[in-house]
Structure 1
Amino acid sequence: MRQGNTWHRILLKMMHRGRIRHLAQELRRRSIPSLLVTNLPDVRYLTGFTGSNAALVVVAEPRVSARLFTDGRYTVQAKREVQGATVRIAPKSALAEACDWAEQHAARCGFDRSQTTVAALASMKKSLGKRSFFVPADGLIAALRMVKDAIEVDYMRRAASLTCSLYEGLLGWIEPGMRERDIAAELEHRARLSGAEAMSFETIVASGERSSQPHARATQAHISAGNLVTLDFGIVLDGYCSDMTRTFAVGYGEKPVPPKAKVRWAEQREVFGAVLAAQQAGVNAVRAGATCGEVDRAARSVLEAAGYGKYFTHSTGHGVGLEIHEVPRVGKDSKDVLKAGTVITIEPGVYLPGRFGVRIEDSVLVTEDGAEVLTPAHKGWMEL
């Protein structure tokens, strides 16, 4: 076991050093000598550190070096987790010390404007002698994180596999009359007992009319026969998120569908079939070299042809990784090109206001010639 832990740490150190070197190459390509990283998922990606307070400086010239600044609460944790960077326990503000160190070791320092507040930028500049020290360097780490390496793919496969198992196990437990909030609570309890570190986001359980709201929160509403239920959830495992949505029907058991409900029941099945076809078309369009816009159009065109295009009110998907929403955005105007190793969601939906909605979502890994569905749990029409 001790030998295995040693090899694991060596592997992690090599991985994080490789990521920092890759980042340094991109900095040199942009003629930016250094980069200040304050977004915690980015810090974790580059060094493995999972604490709640950190500022990382990566210097690209004349030689690659990296230093992570944090506070005394994380003295032990930083020593255990940080790979590829030296650690400095800051007696004052970690951000202030990071800025001071960067100024001493580089002529200029990049920062990501999308991850930096106005207040934070003012604080960064406060004690510096060089007024023009900070320069924009947007999206550098996001672009690196978009393509997952073999270790990340393994983490995400395991997170997705557990997600599917949780869903399949929950189906045998759900019964008509249960409250949405109870279903969400049971799912999250099972996730924790199964080893999940957290949920990727607040679990969505939306039944009946509420399923027409794409991001409805679970409420005290009871699920009932003749209605659809949308369940959208994910877990965090080894720091990586999963994301999956399934819509299922609450049936009438052995009783026939009541005459008054037949039209609505048939319409729900029709909409479900259109969404399922659109979702599969989106998955089929995924491959390295395809644009995100092409994938969106593949799914959206199916719903438009079925007459439901105006009821598909969001993009087809998004990237997933250390965060539940990452680049790229799989939208109709997106020109982002998919690369092998990227994990995205394919999640078309139809939402008929005040009536019902259907969404089906898989997380998929982009491959050179297609897509590997990471969440292969049953997604066809199903009645509880």
Structure 2
Amino acid sequence: MMHRGRIRQLAQELRRRSLPSLLVTHLPDVRYLTGFTGSNAALVVVAEPRMSARLFTDGRYTVQAKREVQGATVRIAPKSALAEACGWAGQHAAQCGFDRTQTTVASLAAMKKAVGKRGFFVPADGLVAALRVVKDAAEMDCMRQAASLTCSLYEGLLGWIEPEMREREVAAELEYRARLAGAEAMSFETIVAAGERSSQPHARATEARIAPGDLVTLDFGIVLNGYCSDMTRTFAIGYGEKPVPSRWKQRWTEQREIFEAVLAAQQAAVNAVRAGVACGEVDRAARSVLEGAGYGKYFTHSTGHGVGLEIHEVPRVGKDSKDVLKAGTVITIEPGVYLPRRFGVRIEDSVLVTEDGAEVLTPVHKGWMEL
């Protein structure tokens, strides 16, 4: 019933827009609507004159599609699934919407060729993405489980990391443990950035070694039951029982000060989250703290983004964003400060928006820590 209900909801939106049908080709959207997890699919939802839905795929997924798909009839296409989907849409609807943000120029040309009707395809961007913004109870449960496993993996890794390890070694160990623990995949390429490299917000893990005195930014997430998690923690590699070398004392103090500023900004943004608040307000809550501390110009990206079946979904939590938070939406809160060629700090939680606040899905320790 879950997927059938989603298709009905989409059909209602199509009727509201006086759009007879919609072609869905973005695979996360297809999965959301039908449950199908294969790598090739085109779904047509017809709203008028009578609601119907048909999913087209190829022979590799004959068994899988019939097992997974709910709310739509499965058709195994002997040739192009996209072409057959378009042809079927042309027979059952006077017009069909498509999402330009998920359609290549080549695909659009193939779609038009398959139908042979001028003006049949019309832009209808983001209709399924809009439905995916608010998570239902089952989705929330999946995301809580993914976040919980993410926290456990982080805590377990902290006792294993040692000075002189390579960034790639840490990333590989984390991903190995994640798969052993049941993760289907990583949400994105794991970021391990130490020392000077932590000043790069999206630094890939390299052969660089982690040294005493370094700040290390660890940004990772897993996929569990199709849903993504996302979390970032920054921690320091200490000197053990040895005192901080005199030449590093000033930097050590500065790193700690910036860390505390980022932590305060991150908490301010979390505190600003609740249903009905504009995303731009959440961004400003974080940005104003860092500006007040003198680090505003070093915060070079948005405060966060939506998370779900994809690691980046709407809404965008940025300073110019007009999106308004809704209860049931999952977003990240991840302000950072990056001093070029020196070091950087980012702290990130995934949070579930509620009517009166935020449920932090990744509540593992995020204060200053020296390993």
**TM-score calculated relative to the size of structure 2:** 1.00
> How far apart, CA to CA, are the structure 2 residues paired with 1:362 and 1:87?
39
Distance 1:107 1:129 in 2: 13
Write the mapping of 1:62-101 to structure 2, written as runs, cut at 5 A: 62-101=49-88
Q: Give the secondary structure class of the aligned counterpart of 1:127.
A: helix
Aligned residue identity for 1:332: K
How far does residue 92 in structure 1 lie from its aligned partner after superposition? Answer: 1.2
* 3-state SS of 1:62 partner: coil
Q: Determine whether 1:171 maps to 2:158.
A: yes
Aligned equivalent of 1:6? none
1:199 aligns with 2:186: yes
Identity, in percent, stands at 88
Give CA-to-partner distance per residue, 1:64-89, whole Å, 9 cap, x none. 11000000000000011101101000
Q: CA deviation at 1:319?
A: 0.2
- Quote the Cα distance in structure 1 between the aligned partners of 2:297 and 2:119: 48
Query: What is the deviation of 1:265?
Result: 0.1
Q: Which whole-Å CA distance do the structure 2 matches of 1:238 and 1:157 have between them?
A: 11
Q: Among 73, 90, 97, which residue is 1:103 paired with? A: 90
RMSD: 0.5
Contact 2:215/2:234 (<8 A) preserved: yes
Match 1:313 to one of 291, 300, 306: 300
Q: Distance in 1 between matches of 2:214 and 2:59?
A: 53
Aligned to 2:171: 184
SS at match of 1:120: helix
Q: Aligned pair 1:233/2:228, yes or no?
A: no
Write out per-residue CA displacement over residues 328-353 of structure 1, whole angstroms, 9 at most, x where no aligned residue. Answer: 00000001000000000000000000
Structure 2 distance, partners of 1:226, 1:17, is: 55
Residue 40 (structure 2) aligns with? 53
Question: 1:104 and 1:377 mapped to 2: Cα distance?
Answer: 54
Is 1:367 paired with 2:348? no
- Pick the aligned partner of 2:133 from 146, 157, 161: 146
Deviations 1:313-367 (A, max 9, x none): 0000000000000000000000100000000000000000000000000000000
SS of aligned partner of 1:358: strand
Whole-angstrom distance in 2 between the partners of 1:286 and 1:79 = 41
Give the corresponding residue for 2:266: 279
User: How do 1:342-361 and structure 2 match up within 5 A?
Assistant: 342-361=329-348
- Superposition pairs of residues 297-336 of structure 1, within 5 angstroms: 297-336=284-323
Number of residue-to-residue matches in the alignment = 371
Q: Letter of the aligned partner of 2:316 in structure 1? A: R
Counterpart secondary structure, 1:176: coil
Q: Secondary structure at the match of 2:44?
A: strand
In 1, Cα distance between the equivalents of 2:249 and 2:123? 59
Task: State how 1:280-295 maps to structure 2 within 5 Å.
Answer: 280-295=267-282
The DSSP-based 3-state class of the residue aligned with 1:301 is: helix
Between the aligned partners of 2:11 and 2:155, the Cα distance in structure 1 is: 44
**1: CA distance between counterparts of 2:240 and 2:256?**
17
- Counterpart CA distance in 2 for 1:128 and 1:73 is 25
1:135 aligns with 122
Distance in structure 1 (CA, Å) of the matches to 2:51 and 2:135: 23
1:33-52 to 2 correspondences below 5 Å: 33-52=20-39
Mapped contact 2:84–2:114 kept (Cα < 8 A): no
**Cα shift at 1:126:** 0.5
Gaps of 5+ in 2: none
Question: Gaps (5+ residues) in structure 1?
Answer: 1-13
Q: Distance in 1 between matches of 2:57 and 2:278?
A: 39
Which deviations, in whole Å up to 9, do the C-alpha atoms of 1:175-209 show, x marking residues without a partner? 11110000000000000000000000000000000
Per the normalisation by structure 1, the TM-score is: 0.96
Partner of 2:107: 120
Secondary structure (helix, strand or coil) at the match of 2:188 reads coil
